[in-house]
């Protein structure tokens, strides 16, 4: 029994002695690995600050700037950890970590395909800037003012006050009409005139009435006669209107239709009757 204790004691001593010798031999590598890791932590912090400033100048978006600068920071930290492990001659550990990271990345990619697609689309929208906050856009069947642009979705405030969140993937893959990039918008109003009506007088009066409207470009109103339908004359009233304000288009179109129908025989009496009431 006593000899067994001595044997176990020698085994433990030999094991601890071996570990101590290995630790002494590894001390230079540990110091170098520790210094390398500290160096990469310092570099990562500096790069994160510089990247944030540069990306913010390019995108003018806090979210994207913080995202990319943080990703660079994490990437440099991983590089520092891998180099430290390699200095300590732990190549198998490095290989296992890389393989595990690859498998996890593939699994997450398949699990969050839609989220990833919206995320990437949001990044492209931020860099390409087809629209900005405050612009009036039309996309995916909705028209409204851009309230907020996030990496996953964009929020529109429609003319009737609704807030619509549209996934960025849908916006990126479908046509976008940005009304704020075009300060003027053309309006066409088709009308049918009786054959007995004086077309020259109608054109003159309509153009004069449209030029008096505040949001209509003065030199643009024109009346085009496009065809004859039995005893009637087909015409199109065309002009350019201000497109900068949110409800300018609808309000001005309403006033244009009122002005045009005021010179049509079938509407003139109704208009006068409403005004009399």
Left if phi > 0, otherwise alpha if psi is -120 to 50, otherwise beta: which for 134? left
Q: How far is residue 134 CA from its own chain's centroid?
A: 13
- 129/103: higher pLDDT: 129
What is the rounded average pLDDT for all residues in the chain? 81
Angle at 63 between CA 57 and CA 68, to 5 degrees: 70
Cβ contacts of 93 within 8 Å, gap of 6 or more? 85
The pLDDT, as a whole number, for residue 78 is 85
Asked whether the CA dihedral 89, 92, 93, 94 is positive or negative, the reply is positive
The pLDDT, as a whole number, for residue 19 is 59
**CATH number of the structural domain spanning residue 249:** 3.30.70.100
Same domain flag for 174 and 191 = no
Lateral strand order in the sheet of 177-178: 163-167, 153-158, 142-149, 136-139, 177-178
pTM of the full structure: 0.57
**Is 90 exceeded by the pLDDT of residue 165?**
yes
The pLDDT, as a whole number, for residue 243 is 73
Write out pLDDT tens, residues 196-235: 888 899 999 999 999 988 888 877 799 999 999 888 999 9
Structure token pair of residue 160:
């009737």
CB 183 within 8 A of CB 242: yes
Question: Which SS3 state, helix, strand or coil, does residue 77 take?
Answer: helix
The pLDDT, as a whole number, for residue 14 is 63
- When divided into structural domains, the chain yields a total of 3
Question: Which SS3 state, helix, strand or coil, does residue 55 take?
Answer: helix
Write out pLDDT tens, residues 108-117: 666 566 777 8
Same domain flag for 224 and 154 = no
> What is the residue range of 78's domain?
2-111
**CATH number of the structural domain spanning residue 86:** 1.10.287.1260
Same domain flag for 186 and 170 = no
CB 243 within 8 A of CB 182: yes
**CATH number of the structural domain spanning residue 159:** 2.30.30.60
Q: Is residue 200 part of a domain?
A: yes
**Is 60 exceeded by the pLDDT of residue 124?**
yes
Going by pLDDT thresholds of 50, 70 and 90, the confidence category of residue 167 is: very high
Same domain flag for 19 and 65 = yes
Asked whether the CA dihedral 119, 123, 128, 134 is positive or negative, the reply is positive
């Amino acid at each position: 029994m006593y000899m067994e204790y001595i044997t176990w004691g020698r085994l433990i001593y030999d094991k601890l002695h071996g570990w101590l010798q290995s630790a002494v031999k590894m001390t230079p590598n540990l110091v170098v690995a520790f210094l390398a890791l500290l160096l990469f932590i310092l570099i990562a912090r500096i790069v994160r600050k510089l990247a944030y400033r540069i990306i913010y100048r390019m995108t003018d978006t806090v979210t994207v700037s913080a995202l990319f600068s943080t990703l660079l920071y994490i990437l440099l930290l991983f590089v520092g950890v891998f180099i430290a492990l390699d200095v300590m001659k732990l190549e198998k550990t490095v290989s296992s970590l890389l393989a595990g990271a690859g498998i996890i990345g593939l699994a997450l990619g398949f699990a969050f395909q839609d989220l990833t697609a919206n995320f990437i689309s949001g990044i492209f929208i931020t860099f390409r800037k087809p629209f900005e906050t405050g612009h009036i856009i039309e996309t995916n069947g909705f028209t409204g003012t851009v309230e907020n642009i996030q990496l996953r979705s964009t929020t529109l405030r429609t003319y009737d006050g609704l807030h619509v969140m549209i996934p960025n993937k849908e916006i990126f893959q479908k046509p976008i009409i940005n009304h704020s990039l075009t300060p003027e918008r053309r309006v066409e109003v088709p009308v049918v005139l009786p054959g007995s009506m004086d077309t020259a007088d109608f054109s003159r009066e309509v153009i004069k009435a449209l030029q008096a409207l505040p949001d209509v470009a003065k030199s643009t109103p024109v009346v085009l006669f496009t065809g004859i339908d039995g005893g009637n004359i087909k015409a199109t009233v065309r002009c350019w209107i201000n497109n900068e304000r949110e409800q300018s288009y609808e309000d001005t179109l309403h006033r244009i239709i009122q002005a045009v129908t005021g010179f049509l025989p079938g509407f003139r009496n109704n208009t006068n009757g409403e005004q009399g009431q």
